[in-house]
């Protein structure tokens, strides 16, 4: 990342801060972008909020329905390999 710019903004009476346009453009933070605000020893850190909450496989396992014969691990590995080769133009 390039050398940090020294930009200045002001906190409004409502506690709002306007982020400089150059930073919003570089970060691709459009209007409505959700940010996480984290207080650190050096100041305040802003990070884009994730689109989805983190989940664990145990919480989502079996959430998609499937009908048909179960696939073996060998079948799944072969299908993944076939698709990878197709996408990358290799036989």
Q: What is the mean pLDDT of each run of 10 residues along the chain (91 residues)?
A: 76 94 94 95 94 85 83 94 89 63
In the chain, the domains with their CATH numbers are 7-50 (2.10.260.10)
Question: pLDDT value at position 54?
Answer: 85
Cβ atoms of residues 20 and 41 within 8 Å: no
Question: pLDDT value at position 48?
Answer: 95
DSSP 39: E
pTM: 0.53
């Amino acid at each position: 990342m390039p050398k940090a710019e020294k930009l200045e903004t002001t906190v409004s009476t409502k506690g709002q801060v306007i982020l400089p346009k150059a930073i919003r453009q570089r970060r691709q933070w459009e209007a409505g972008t959700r940010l996480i605000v984290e207080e650190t020893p050096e100041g305040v850190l802003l990070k884009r909020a994730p689109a989805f909450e983190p989940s664990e496989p145990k919480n989502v396992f079996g959430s998609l329905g499937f009908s048909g014969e179960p696939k073996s691990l060998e079948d799944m590995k072969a299908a993944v390999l076939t698709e990878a080769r197709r996408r990358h133009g290799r036989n």
